[in-house]
Chain A
Amino acid sequence: MLQVNKVEAGYGKLKILRGVTMTVPQGEIVTLLGGNGTGKSTMLKAVSGLIPVMSGNIIFDGVDISTMKPHERMRLGLVQVTQSKEAYPAMTVEENLMLGAYTRSDRASIAADLEKVYGFFPVLKERRKQLSATLSGGEVQMLVIGRGLMAGPKMLMLDEPSAAIAPKVVLEIFSNINKIAKSGVTILVVEQNVRMALILANYGYIIRDGVIMMEGKADSLISDPAVKESFLGGSVADTSKKLQSG
């Protein structure tokens, strides 16, 4: 579905991604993991077109999208939800969701998708007439995912859906991401919550300083000693030992 070949990208002259190659197969959940400032969001922006690709190319659904504008890529069914979790605060929940369907004109299928989103996130239905400024952090995350779904995506890219959200709500959101994938939407999810992401995903990439450092099937990554050491923080006993000595 998505193929990223030796992509270099960044901001102005500053190069952040230094030749990233990734594949996201149709119908699967792939996760991109890494610490703060390693280039995860930059990667999603390069794919969605918010920043230009300096070299390499990006193939989506058989089309080379490397030089397309963001709204053109989106119209092909490639939808990104940004890390900033921004809903339009002065619009109601439902207006926000309808904005996601901005490019579509078939009312019947828009209405059907709206019901689908409300099925995934019932709390949004309860709050549909409320201004989105009044939502909690978890609800806003559900809203922006829902808004992405309203675009009728073939592939949805999520940027840290678990950030700054209570563990219980994270579980709810992740189980919905799983359901969304089951409904036929391919998913690329960027995460720092490595354990949760690897449980959710089929395949994982680990990025550091703009290059892919490691990749593999999710269940093999989760038991990999190197991953355990650097991302899962070892066992509880290890961590407390580090705290004492550090």
Chain B
Amino acid sequence: MGFDFNSLLAFIIFGITIGVVYGIVALGISLIYSGLDIVHFAHGEMYMFGAFFGLVLVHDAGFPYPIALVGAMVLTALLGMFVERVFYRRLTRAGGGYTVAGMGMIICGFGMSVALVNVAYFIWGAEAEPFRANLDYIPRLEFGDGIQVPESYVLTAIISVVLMLALNYFLRYTKIGLAVRAVAHNKEIAYLMGINVPLMISLIFGLACARAAAAGVLIGPMQSVQVEMGYLMLMKAFAAAVVGGFGSLPGAIVGGIMVGIFENLGAAYISPSHKDIYAFLLLILVLSIRPSGLFGIEAKVKA
């Protein structure tokens, strides 16, 4: 029995699709980090809430899937902005990063994560719910010798790429994007340029949480939706962000794709029952070669 290149190709393709989803969640974590100097530990719950919002919009409200995707992004952005404004703002005002307030911020993030899981548990219960989405209008892709890529994967890849490009365009070429980059680099000076800094901070949070929600709605139909789904996603997205270089936006995407591929190959060729540890093996591997991650140098010159 020779080596089967066809299935290798299939594993890589599936790895990339799931990897771009890790990438867009990691993008949000990196955006919040570079913008606010805080590591957002409740980001996995934004992903989980996004998935539930999408599910409710499709199953209970009867919206078509694409509208539910946008709706979930908007609702989760609002949830994120609310949480930031009401709970985090008090702490970040005292200074983020490595200060004492920064430590408080990390603990606050963990607390928020637990609180949000419990709120979701209260609303939706502990059962895993299947996310039935009608995706028949999306074509299946065929590669090489009959590798079939299901609709939900095709859709995921397309939407994730669109979301990344949109964010890149926004940050590079729009006036508000310029303001966001200015806030990310130095809030005092951004203030002195006449930028409404608190508003930009809300915007950064909203954008980051909307991206996590999109990931939730995209992953929903592949797996199922459950209140504790956030933890694992947070871990993978963190691994992706760190592999790429914390705070670097392109790094988040590249890191996500690497984690996705590595994890799929590991599951296929080493052992499928330890699928979730491969992300961390990759993490250790990359950090031992490049301690600041792949794009770590750029991360120092933020935004």
The reply to whether B186 and A88 contact each other, CB–CB distance below 8 Å, is: yes
- Please list the 10 inter-chain residue pairs (A to B) with the smallest Cβ-Cβ separation, ordered nearest first: A103-B194, A70-B191, A74-B194, A90-B301, A71-B194, A102-B193, A88-B185, A80-B192, A71-B196, A89-B301
Q: How many B residues touch the partner, as a band? A: 10 to 19
Contact with A along B168-201 (1 / 0, CB 8 A): 0000000100110110011011011111110000
The reply to whether B175 and A102 contact each other, CB–CB distance below 8 Å, is: yes
Whether, in the assembled complex, B258 has its beta carbon less than 8 Å from a beta carbon of chain A, the answer is no
Q: How many A residues touch the partner, as a band? A: 20 to 34
A142 and B182 alpha carbons, distance in the complex (Å): 19
Whether, in the assembled complex, A33 has its beta carbon less than 8 Å from a beta carbon of chain B, the answer is no
Residues of A within 8 A of B (CB): 48-50, 69-71, 74-75, 79-82, 86, 88-91, 95, 98-100, 102-103, 133, 147, 151
B contact residues around A100 at 8 Å (CB): 193
Closest chain B residue to A12, Cβ basis: B94
The reply to whether B193 and A91 contact each other, CB–CB distance below 8 Å, is: no
Whether, in the assembled complex, B89 has its beta carbon less than 8 Å from a beta carbon of chain A, the answer is no
Closest chain B residue to A91, Cβ basis: B181
A75 and B185 alpha carbons, distance in the complex (Å): 21
The residues in B between 180 and 234 inclusive whose CB is less than 8 angstroms from any CB of A are 181-182, 185-186, 188-189, 191-197
- Given the interface pairs A88-B181, A88-B182, A89-B301, the reply to whether A102 lies near B194 with Cβ below 8 Å is yes
* Interface residue from B178, B179, B301 paired with A95 (Cβ < 8 Å): B178
Q: How far is the CB of B138 from chain A (nearest CB, A)?
A: 38
* Interface residue from A102, A103, A133, A147 paired with B301 (Cβ < 8 Å): A133
Closest chain A residue to B196, Cβ basis: A71
Closest chain A residue to B198, Cβ basis: A69
B contact residues around A90 at 8 Å (CB): 181, 185, 301-303
